[in-house]
Structure formats: C-alpha cells, structure tokens
Amino acid sequence: MITYHSYRIGLGILVVIFTLLMANVATSLLADAPANALYAAPPAQLTPFVLPSVVAVTPNPTATQPAAGQTDTTLALQNDFASCDGFDDAYLRVRCQGGEYVIHRKDNQGTRWVQWPNQFGDVVVEVTGRATDDALTRYGVILRNVDGSQFYLVGLQNDGKYGVLTYDNGYSALRPYTASPAVNPGTAANHIRIVNQGPDIALYLNDQWIDTFRDERLTQGLFGLFVEGSNQTSEAAFDNLRISTINRPLEIPAPRVAATPIPSATPAPSPTRAPSPTPAETTLLADINYAKCTPIENERIYARCADGKLVFTKRGENFFEWLAYKFNLTNAIYEVETQVLAAAPDLAYGLLVRLNAENAGYLFALNPNGEYGVWRFENQEFQELVPFTHSDAITDGTNRLKVIAQDDQLALYINDEFVELVSGVQVELGRVALYLESSESDVTVGFDNLRVAQINRPLALGEPKDKLCELNEGEAGILLNNGFDAPMTFTIGGGGWGTHDYEIPGDGEWYILAMPPGRYTFTAFIPGVGTAHGERFDYAAGVCRRISFAP
C-alpha cells in the first residue's frame, strides 16, 4: 500500500490523505508541494493551454484590391469593425462595439478563438488589440491553423509580456511569455504586426521589431483572433485588421540572439555506458509496471493507472508536485520511462533523488524542447547545477531516465546514453520521487517501469563534462563558450567584487572565469549580433556554471 499525504508548505495543515494500491509493492509514497517552483510563477496565473475549442465565424471581412503598382504584397482582408454580425453561445459573446471587435469569454478552459474561412500562406498581418480590464488576460493572433490541431500562436499578456508558441496537439514555446518594454500593459492598446514568410515569423510590437522565429512545420492555414483569461469573464478587443498576401520575398531581420543566454550542450567525451550490473553488484528493490492502482485525486493532482502507465496530472497552479517512494538509500540505481501526455511551455518532469526528511535533494529533469538539466533542491529553492541543455538522446516520444547515485556523484543517462556526471553531491541519504512542474495546470506526464536497485559495490561511472572546471579552493566559476564568429565582451559583477570585463574569442572553445562566490549579473555583447543580459545568480564555491552562446 502506498500512502499519499498532501500539504502546503507554510500552512502546516494536512489537507487530505489517500491510498494507492499497487501490485507487489509495499512502500510508502509521499507527495509534497513547496511554494517555490523551478520556474518563477507570476502572482496570478492564466488558464492552462489544453486542447483548444474553436468557434468559426466570418465577421464581415471586406476584400480589397491591391493599389496600382503594388507588387510586394496584395491586401486580402481589411476590417475596421465599425459593424459586424456578432454571436452569443455557451462559450463566447462576440460583438462590434465602439469600432472594436470584442471577444468575451464565458469560461476559462483552454484557448478559444474566432477564425476567418480564408486559407493563408505567406502573409503580413496587422491588428490592434487590448484587454478590456485589468484581469490577467492573453490575446492575439493564430496563424496557419490546420483543423484546430496545428497552428502558430502570437500572444500578448496584459502584464507586459508576449509569447510565440506552436500547437501540435499540445503547446511548445518558440518564445515563452516574456516581459518586454515594447508591450503596453493593462488596458492600453498594442499594435501587432507579423510577417509570416516561409518558415519565419517576424514579430513587431508597436512598430518595434521584437524578434524573428523560425519553424518549418506549417505552410498554410486559417487565421484567427484568440482570447485566454484567468477568470470566466475575460475579454479582449481588436481593431484595424489588415491581412496582405506576400507576392515576393520581403526583407525581414534574421533571428536575434536570445534575450537571455540559452545554454547548449557542452562537448563531452564519447558517451560511455555504465556496465550492466551483475546480481552481486546490485539488489533489485522494486520493479513497478503500474498495471493497476487506485487513483489519487484532489484539487492539486490526479494520479491514476491507465494503459499500463502511472498518469500523473498537476491540477493546481503555482506549485510543483512530486510522488515520493520511501526507499531511504545512499547508493542506488533509479530508472523510469517518461512520456509527455499534455504539455505546457514551461513543463519540467523527471526524477528527484536523495530527497531527505528536510526535503533537500537533487532533480534530474527534462523539458518538451529536447533538453535536460540538474538542480539541487534545498530550503525550498532550486540551485542550478546543469542548466537546461540540448541532447540528441532525447526523443519526441518515450524517454527512459536513469540515475546512478553513488557516494558523492550522480551519473545521468537518457535512453541508456550517458549525458552527465555531477560531483560534490552533499545529500547522503534519501528517497526517490516522480516529479512534475509547470506554471500551468492540467499538465500530464506518464511514468512507467520504475526500477530501484541498491548498489552493493562501486560501479564504473562516465566522465564528468565539467572536467575543465579547475578552481582554487573557495572559488566559484563560469565555463563560457562563444560559438559566434565575432569576439564577445562579457561583463560580470556585483557586490564587493565589483565589475569585470572579459574578451571571449569566437572560436567555440570553453574558457573558465574564476571569481569569489556571490550573487552576480552579467551582460554579453557581440558586435552585429546583439546583447544578452543574465539575471542575478548565486555562484557557489567549487562549482562552474556553464553558459554557451551560439547562432
């Protein structure tokens, strides 16, 4: 019998106790919900991105012929929404009011939009949009919509953020919702201009180019205007819609370097695999296939066995959740198969190991973008050890995670390929947990074939990627890589250490910067490419943070 205890850190109140029955297992399972998540959540959260509903309507578009001599584009659709045929159903109330096209939500489940019947490929879209009140609202444009199952979404959030996402029976982010001074917050209007040309989506907000995003999956589809909200009365208004088809290629800016550095995988030795343990080396403690179980369901999670998996759904917002098995082990091997069933842009999922009674431990997590990362969890905070890093070992389907926890090291594998060795592990004894996190609710991951084996004698492990991290005692460090052709000026500092400039050649090599431990920010500038800014980060003694810049 596996017992699930649910409580909120800070309240100290036991909320609910359930039981989960599983065949051939006699361990205890504990799910905790600390208040701080790996991804910082805004004070108020929007509704989850789930399978959208669609209302198809044509609000009196006016076809316009191109002006004489116009060759680059042809104006295909224009509307100032002085009048239109509105409608009112169970989900939306749509009307023209005060020269605006007003879409009013009656529910807060997923994405809802109004779409035009025209099929568009390469287009320039211009529209003005705004939220009609201060309740947290997302609104914007849907492009190349194919039967409601695939499309691009360009959205604004009325707390001053924008996002660019793709939907393919689940959302993934080309740019998660990100704060920008170009976005007018509150109920102020924002002029949106999008050049969707070939695989490129060039975004302009209030006449300022934001970035160009590249995705080759969709070539044409329907156009729509969408609204999402944090309550059941969210509303947005649109005006001055113009859609022009592109007759010949337009000049648009190339994608810029990301506003924050996106770490990429560090070159590593040829992947090595730990030798298959013999019975003398390990003792199998659990082999769980989740064929059947009694569901756990409350306002925060829903865990049930379906199709031979433990289907784990996080319902609440502003929390991460885990299901922890009470194997208190030091040296052990943990393996589990994972499959994303309902994603969100900031989804993270994986294994927590050596999770002790004080809820300190280590997280090995994947995200839907083909990246993995490692964090230390202590005092309700995550300390980054390995930032989210791309790996070709990660597939779009099922991924098998494996952690060998041995003495002060964690050897990490994805689909039996070695990806990382983390040294200096300080938590000596603890549990293993299935982990799920997102600022959205209704995200779901399936877990299957959990195996836990105790290590009886030392196993050979892979080589650490950070073997270049050679620091003196008491120093912290950065391993820095510049994959651009031009040299980079890297400025870092803060506190009593002051500010320091470094010139990093554009040769793709790794360079180490040593410094006293502390909390610092950085700026990276590459002529002709752009500037990236790093938020405050706590650099710990004996640890190198890896940061890579690449086209």
**240 plus 272 within the same structural domain:** no
The closest of 119, 101, 460 to 273, measured between CA atoms, is 460
Contacts with 252 (C-beta within 8 Å, 6 or more apart), sequence order: 195, 197, 200, 202, 212
The pLDDT of residue 340:
95
State the chain's mean pLDDT as an integer.
78
Quick check: is 394 in a domain? yes
The pLDDT of residue 404:
94
Neighbours of 31 (CB within 10 A): 23
**414 plus 381 within the same structural domain:** yes
Domain boundary among 432, 455, 478: 455
Quick check: is 515 in a domain? yes
Quick check: is 258 in a domain? no
The pLDDT of residue 198:
93
Quick check: is 255 in a domain? no
Q: Which amino acid is at 510?
A: W
List pLDDT tens digits, range 334-347: 999 999 999 888 89
Least confident of 44-58, 120-134, 425-439, 449-463: 44-58
Contacts with 311 (C-beta within 8 Å, 6 or more apart), sequence order: 302, 303, 304, 305, 341, 444, 446
3-state secondary structure of 277: coil
**68 or 151: whose pLDDT is higher?**
151
Most confident of 44-48, 219-223, 510-514: 219-223
The pLDDT of residue 63:
37
**213 plus 317 within the same structural domain:** no
Q: For residue 479, give the CATH number of its domain.
A: 2.60.40.1120
List pLDDT tens digits, range 177-215: 888 999 999 999 999 999 999 999 999 999 999 999 999
**485 plus 352 within the same structural domain:** no
Query: What percent of the chain has pLDDT above 90?
Result: 35
**Could you identify the residue written with the tokens 């994959």?**
483
**307 plus 448 within the same structural domain:** yes
Tokens of 149: 């199952």
Domain boundary among 427, 455, 483: 455
How far CA 458 is from CA of 277, 354, 452, 454, in Å, comes to: 10, 18, 16, 11
Tokens of 544: 């190198």
Quick check: is 461 in a domain? no
Quick check: is 339 in a domain? yes
**176 plus 117 within the same structural domain:** yes
**169 plus 273 within the same structural domain:** no
- Whole-angstrom Cα distance, residue 123 to residue 278? 61
3-state secondary structure 419-471: EEEEECCCCCCEEEEEEEECCCCCEEEEEEEEEEEEECCCCCCCCCHHHHCCC
**109 plus 26 within the same structural domain:** no
Quick check: is 35 in a domain? no
Structural domain total, the chain: 3
**16 plus 90 within the same structural domain:** no
Residues forming a β-bridge with 241 = 79
Q: Are 109 and 47 in contact (CB under 8 A)?
A: yes
**20 or 288: whose pLDDT is higher?**
288
Q: For residue 171, give the CATH number of its domain.
A: 2.60.120.560
pLDDT mean over 363-378: 91
Look up the pTM and report it: 0.44
What is the domain extent for residue 128? 53-246
**110 plus 209 within the same structural domain:** yes
List pLDDT tens digits, range 243-257: 999 999 999 998 875
- Whole-angstrom Cα distance, residue 406 to residue 454? 10
**205 plus 128 within the same structural domain:** yes
Domain boundary among 455, 479, 514: 455
Strands 488-493 and 301-306: unpaired
Quick check: is 46 in a domain? no
**225 plus 372 within the same structural domain:** no
**397 or 230: whose pLDDT is higher?**
397
The pLDDT of residue 203:
96
Q: Are 65 and 95 in contact (CB under 8 A)?
A: no
List pLDDT tens digits, range 74-106: 998 999 999 888 888 888 899 999 999 999 988
